[in-house]
Amino acid sequence: MTENDNSHSILIVDDNHNNLEVLSETLTRAGFQISVAIDGENALEQIQYYKPELILLDVMMPGIDGYQTCQRIKSNPDTFDIPIIFMTALSDTEHKVRGFALGAVDYITKPFQREEVLARVRVQLQLRNLARTLEGQNRMLKKEILQRERVESSLTKLNQELEKRVEERTQKLSRTLKTLRQAQVELVQQKKDLEIRVRERTAELAKSMADAEKANQAKSQFLANMSHELRTPMNAIIGYSEMLMEEAEDVGQDDFIPDLNKIHGAGKHLLNLINDILDLSKIEAGRMELYLENFNIKSLIGETVSTIRPLIEKNQNTLETNLADNLDVMHADLTKVRQSLFNLLSNASKFTKKGKIILDVSSQAIDKRQFVVFRVKDTGIGMNPEQMGKLFQAFTQADASTTRKYGGTGLGLAITKKFCQMMGGDIKVESEPGIGSTFIIHLPVQVIDSSKEKSSKSLDATKLKTDSKSGKKNTILVIDDDPTIHDLLRRFLGKKGFEVKTAKTGAEGVRLAKTLQPEAITLDVMMPGMDGWSVLTSLKAHPQTADIPVIMMTMVDDQNLGYALGATEYLLKPIDGKKLETILDRFKTTSKSNSIMVVEDDPGIREMLCRQLKAEQWKVIEAENGKEALLKLQSCSPGLILSDLMMPEMDGFELVHRLKQDQRLCSIPVVILTAKTITTQDRQKMHGRVSKIFEKGSYQRSILFDEVNNLLEEAISRKQERADSIAAT
Amino acid sequence: MLTILLVEDNEMNRDMLSRRLKRRGYEVLIAVNGAEGVKMANSSTPDLILMDMSLPVMDGWEATKNIKADPTTKSIPVIALTAHAMSGDREKALQAGCDDYDTKPIELSRLLTKIKTFLPDS
């Protein structure tokens, strides 16, 4: 039921028209909306259609009286809340009380005062408004409360749900955590298992390696034994048949000789076969090693030619040898080169009859590297392409029948090819049937044993740190009376990044050494005036120059010969204990071994040195001279060798020379003890010694330069290591 | 007559070499192991020693070293006879103190040339 918008509508119920009029007028004038009813029924009817805000109700009326009307109004839920003010003349308390009991809100007695009526009406209306407002607010509040309650209950429900979910999640997490912990335990266990397995596997591997190494050793030992075992009876067959032939000749029984010769020949053939098979087995087992050394090519050719001559003449062939002029020394495996050459020449002799064999030896540069080329050309039976294809394969001579006809083992070329390849070279063939064959071997002049990973270190001054103070390039001082040598060394070392300064005399050299403080000095041994030794002693005697590394060398330009003394340091005698200590300290930091070899023939000096060294916790190996030193060096590898120069049997020169030739020993640093005062005799001896070694070990210039290279590098890098280790402490 | 001490453990090699050297006019003394070789070198001071390198009791290197260390015998030239099965045999022989070496199988003419360099008047 909608509230009527019109403000303040009042229903007046009175059977007295006068009253109705007066009241009506009064209230209308006060601004109220008025509707009237003349009796109770009328009023009730009106109220159905139009609900007033207040009813002024007369008590005494015909029909239903006021009280009844009031009762009816109050019992109707639609209308019970309308404020009713009774109007009546009956003013006694009993009626008033009755009226109030029925639900009236007020009572006006007749005759009424207008003002009083208005006032009471206004008050009641106010009250009613207030009541309604309150009701409205109440309802709103109730609504709000309901809403709140609903929200609360939702929240509670949500909360419960959340708690349930949290509970579930927590359980899940704890389960996961448990699983993870388990997994972790398992992982730790697996790790332990793996470690055990790794350890086992490593042990297995180590054992396999040890086994393989043992097998390898066994193989090598077998080859060595076989070698010996097979050759021994062969020697007997060959030797005895030779001997018997000699003795038969002696007693005049010449007719035995052809048969004995056959035995001899067969024995030699068998021996060759055995040697070739053993060689090939060794190569295939990977046990064939290179033994590199310097040797003179001309001498080798001479030797080989004289050995092969009988074989050549056997088939009435001629041998022509052509050697290039610039051939000199080569650094290779002498035995293998000899064997290969011999193989080619012997093949040429075998397959040529009454023909010509030419041996050409020359040098050639291939890809900036120097090679020696051996060419053996014959006018023999030659080969067709098919035969050439099988040539270098083991166990197939070009044709099986040729073995029978021409002899040989069919293995020679296979071995030769392998040898050439091992040394970094190769062999090839050109041939025409009926015309002849040409075999060409090319080998590096400087063979490098790649299996030992010993690459010829090329000195690169840029790799070495420059002097941090001056920031300039490493300076080398060359002291030599021959200006050509200055030029050569300047060009060579300059290319390596060095600054080369030169001095023509010993005196000038010493002066320059003091002012320049070079990184290293090369010193010519054979100089007129102040010779190399004097310069050396002078340098070592002055504190400013004593620490500069000196490479003693000498070169004879026109003969392409040169020699460098491969000593690392020089110490003056009588030996200054402090100086010795300084040198030892240097080697302490860089050497791995704590043993020193002392080579000195003077027992007094030797004893003193040993004492000092032992005091410094070095282990000392003594030798009286070079020969003894080398002998002892067979079974030891000291970290340093201190050697006197002048000794009997084998002097310091020879010792150093020999050491440099040995692959194992060449890296041991050598400190030479030289006398402060050198007698003329000694000097002559020294010069003589040097020139002797000169001849023995004379190098081609390039090889010499490389040697100087290496010595310089060693000396300078050792200096740097020292400087670094000092800086690091 | 010049004396050669032959130190060789193999009977056939010994036989062959000693007979052939005798035919060439040398007096040949025999030792069958390194120790005996050293002893005989000392007692008989031969003019030359041919030393096989692989010997029982004391090997050729050891024997040579001993001979070269003894003032009585150190000047006797020693020629090593090596089987040359391994590389470095030659150098090893020289370092042991041998004056020269030859490889087996022995080629008599080659060996004789080497002997003659040490004993020129034979």
**Chain A nearest CA to B108, separation (Å):** 9
Angle at B85 between CA A412 and CA A390, to 5 degrees: 15
* DSSP calls for A4-65: P-SS-EEEEE-S-HHHHHHHHHHHHHTT-EEEEESSHHHHHHHHHH---SEEEEESS-SSS-
For residue B86, which residues of chain A lie inside 8 Å, CB to CB? 224
Q: How far is Cα A642 from Cα A606, in angstroms, rounded to an integer?
A: 10
- Residue window 306-335, chain A: list those with CB within 8 Å of chain B: 333, 335
What pLDDT digit, counting tens, does each position of A550-604 carry?
887 766 554 444 556 666 677 766 667 777 777 777 666 555 677 889 999 888 8
pLDDT confidence of residue A676: 59
| More confident of the two residues A642 and A709 | A642
* Nearest residue of chain B to residue A241 (CA atoms): B16
pLDDT at position A398 over 70 = no
HSE at residue A230, side-chain half, CA atoms within 13 A, is 19
pTM greater than 0.90 (yes/no): no
Minimal C-alpha gap between B44 and chain A (Å): 24
pLDDT in tens, A484-514: 778 878 877 777 778 889 998 888 999 999 9
Nearest-CA distance from A631 to chain B in Å?
6
Q: Would you say residue A478 has pLDDT above 50?
A: yes
- Min distance B86 CA to chain A CA atoms (Å): 7
Q: Is a pLDDT exceeding 50 seen at residue A2? A: no
Report the residue of chain A nearest B93, measured CA to CA: A631
Q: What integer is the mean pLDDT of A675-703?
A: 59
Minimum mean pLDDT range among A479-488, A536-545, A593-602, A693-702: A693-702
Chain B neighbors of A242, CB-CB under 8 A: 20, 108
Greater pLDDT, A529 or B42: B42
Q: Is the pLDDT of residue A386 over 60?
A: yes
Full DSSP string of A129-174: HHHHHHHHHHHHHHHHHHHHHHHHHHHHHHHHHHHHHHHHHHHHHH
Question: Per-residue pLDDT averaged across A445-472, rounded?
Answer: 52
CA distances (Å), origin A487, targets A13, A698, B64: 151, 20, 48
Q: Give contacts of A250 with chain B, Cβ < 8 Å.
A: 23
For chain B (length 122 residues), average pLDDT per consecutive 10?
92 89 93 94 94 88 91 92 67 83 83 90 69
CB contact under 8 A, B87 and A335: yes
Q: What's the mean pLDDT in A313-329?
A: 90
Supply the pLDDT for residue B22: 92
- Write the ipTM: 0.77
Tens-digit pLDDT profile for residues B92-104: 778 888 998 888 7
pLDDT at A334 over 50: yes
Task: Pick from A129-138, A335-344, A648-657, B95-104 the range whose average pLDDT is largest.
Answer: A335-344
Residue A408 has pLDDT above 80, yes or no: no
Query: Quick check: B65 and A235 CB within 8 A?
Result: no
Average pLDDT over chain A, rounded to an integer: 82
Ramachandran area for residue A462 (φ above 0: left; ψ -120 to 50: alpha; else beta):
alpha
Q: What Å distances lie between residue A633 and A570, A628, A636, B38, CA to CA?
A: 21, 8, 5, 22
Q: Are A438 and A352 in contact (CB under 8 A)?
A: no
Pick from A242, A289, A631: which is nearest to B87 by CB? A289
- Please give the pLDDT value at position A218: 78
Residue A606 is predicted with a pLDDT of 87
pLDDT at A4 over 50: no
Of A231, A271, A634, which has the smallest distance from its Cβ to B83's Cβ? A231
Cα-based torsion angle of the residue sequence A79, A84, A88, A93 in order, rounded to the nearest 10 degrees: 110
Q: With bands split at pLDDT 50, 70 and 90, how would you rate the model's confidence at A433?
A: very high
Whether omega before A83 lies within 30 degrees of 0, making that bond cis, reads: no
B-side interface with A, Cβ within 8 Å?
10, 12-13, 16-17, 19-20, 23, 54, 65, 68, 83, 85-88, 91-92, 95-97, 104-106, 108
With beta carbons less than 8 A apart as the criterion, state whether A636 and A608 touch: no
* Cβ–Cβ contact A285 with B under 8 A: no
What pLDDT shows up at residue A661? 78
Does residue A729 carry a pLDDT above 70? no
> ∠ CA A429-A431-A432 to the nearest 5 degrees?
170
Output the pLDDT for position A339.
Answer: 92
Which DSSP string do the residues of A248-268 spell out, in sequence order?
HHHTT-GGGHHHHHHHHHHHH
pLDDT tens per residue, range A257-275: 999 999 998 898 888 888 8
Which two structure tokens, joined as six digits, stand for B94? Answer: 């020289």
User: For a pLDDT cut of 90, what percent of chain A falls above it?
Assistant: 26
Instruction: Put residue A601 in one of left, alpha, beta given phi > 0 → left and psi -120 to 50 → alpha.
Output: alpha
